[in-house]
Amino acid sequence: MALPIPGRVAYVNARLLDPATGHDGPGGVLAEGERIVDFGPGLFCPPSLPEGTERVDCGGHCLAPGLVDIRMQLREPGYEHKESVRGACWAAVNGGITAMVCLPNTLPVIDDVATLEFVARRARMIGLTKVYAYGAATKGLKGVEIAEMGLLAEVGAVGFTDGLNAIADALVMRRALSYAATFGLTIVQHPEDPALAAGGVMNEGEMAARLGLAGIPPCAESILLMRDLRLVELTGGRYHAAHVSTAEGIEAIRRAKDKGLPVTCDTAPFYFALNELAIGDYRTFAKLSPPLRGEADRQAVVEGLRSGLIDAIVSDHAPQDQDSKRRPFAQAEFGGVGLETLLAVTLDLYHDGHMSLLSALRLLTSGPAGLLGLDAGRLRKGGAADLVLFAPDRAWQVVADTLVSKSKNAPFDGRPVQGRILRTVVDGRTVFAVADGINRKRS
């Protein structure tokens, strides 16, 4: 059940960050009910507040718009033993995520109005992170018959995708791009040629040969991308490439953007913070789709982020239960959880000097929100009071068993990181907070 609507709350003594406007400096936010009343650098100077205002002293920590995650798997309905709406929402607020978009690969598939409305209703009842959904691009995610995009768009689908399945048929992709364009919505593709990837379980190369595992060649990504980009040129449809992981794929997207095509892309922390060496001695938590690549590809992803070519960072949250992961590597399921580690691992880009703190945050807030037209990821007077307070330099270690996610398949298990979430606020309600010396009192 949703928490009661709060009164007037002032967040003071913060390092205020708003990537959408480029603001980075001392400041505060005044919220009333579910909305932001005001924000800025001189808001509480002198430090007097209207009577009855609750004062939250941020202790000099970073206060920013809540994170926006546009690629994650909810698993409910149908796979609640792996994850649930409630479990995913709790994990998300622990990770500072105030809005997220789930893939349609539930059971039943989100290819009809009833299933889409079920997911939206469950999220509203829980009252934590805001949950949006993609509609299936094809019925049953089978890649054959276009789904009822018009009906799905009317009830809130924010884009269309076949989730973990690539739309492999060129004619189907052409029709999908054309149809989605009539509603001003985007086709999101898992860019991996299924014929080239068939049977593969990790990146093709020397390490796969040494481990005796079937490989997926990096060109499986770029070949499908290049085909799709030609279809974008033909149809004018909006196209988004999910979790790009190779230098060749990134180069194909760069050429498309240089032509002015309506093309965007994202990546996940797995692909700029890890490479195929993380598999080690058949470590199934590092079995992901697309697979972890070689070091040259990892560096290309970092450069794509640094240069601004990659538009967003997503969690690519793919929870798997123990029975799915504790198998021989070739038989284990693909995927890793990532909601709770999204900010901390992304901040590696800042701590390692690849980009500023504001630039890194933009990839998690206004960047992804803008791609799908979500009213999120920015500070705005009258906008929703969705906020995250975090300490960017605070160190901690990822321990899979302590994560809130129902499934514990964390590729970053054991990794030391910097960046701790201190408070998450959704529609003015504090839905997560740690006892960290952050003072609350009423004026």
pLDDT of residue 6: 81
What is the 8-class DSSP label of residue 138?
A: B
Residues of the chain with pLDDT below 70 are 1-3, 45-48, 436-443
Structural contact between residues 419 and 347, judged by C-beta atoms closer than 8 angstroms = yes
Q: What are phi and psi of 340, to 5 degrees?
A: -80, -15
Neighbouring residues of 61: CB distance < 8 A, sequence distance ≥ 6: 14, 15, 389, 390, 391, 422, 438
- Work out whether strand 312-313 and strand 263-267 pair parallel, antiparallel, or are unpaired: parallel
Residue 281: predicted pLDDT: 93
Question: How far apart are alpha carbons 62 and 30 in whole angstroms?
Answer: 15
Q: Which two tokens stand for residue 423?
A: 């408070």
What pLDDT score was predicted for residue 58? 96
- Residue 351: what pLDDT? 98
Q: Are 275 and 296 in contact (CB under 8 A)?
A: no
CA-CA distance, 306 to 13, in Å (whole number)? 30
Question: In this structure, what is the dihedral angle of CA atoms 90, 95, 98, 102, given to the nearest 10 degrees?
Answer: -70
Say whether 316 is catalytic: yes
Measured CA to CA in angstroms, residue 121 lies from 190, 319, 339 at distances of 27, 22, 21
* pTM attached to this predicted model: 0.96
Find, among 155, 45, 68, 40, the residue nearest to 361 by Cα. 68
Return the pLDDT at 437. Answer: 47
d(CA 356, CA 443): 36
User: Rounded to a whole number, what is the largest CA-CA distance in the chain?
Assistant: 69
Whether the Cβ atoms of residue 382 and residue 375 lie closer than 8 Å to each other: no
Q: What is the pLDDT of residue 242?
A: 98
Q: 95 near 390, Cβ under 8 Å?
A: no
Q: By three-state DSSP, how is residue 196 classified?
A: helix
Q: Which domains does the chain have, with CATH numbers?
A: 69-378+392-411 (3.20.20.140)
Cβ proximity of 183 and 154 under 8 Å: no
Are 394 and 421 spatial neighbours (Cβ–Cβ below 8 Å)?
no
pLDDT in tens, 241-251: 999 999 999 99
pLDDT at 442: 47
Note whether 95 and 339 are within 8 A (CB): yes
CA distance 339 to 78: 20
Residues 248, 191: contact at Cβ < 8 Å? Answer: no
Q: Please identify which of the residues 316, 348, 386, 427 carries the catalytic annotation.
A: 316
CB 104 within 8 A of CB 141: yes
Which of these, 112, 263, 134, lies nearest to 191 by C-alpha position?
Answer: 263
Residue identified by tokens 């709406």 is: 85
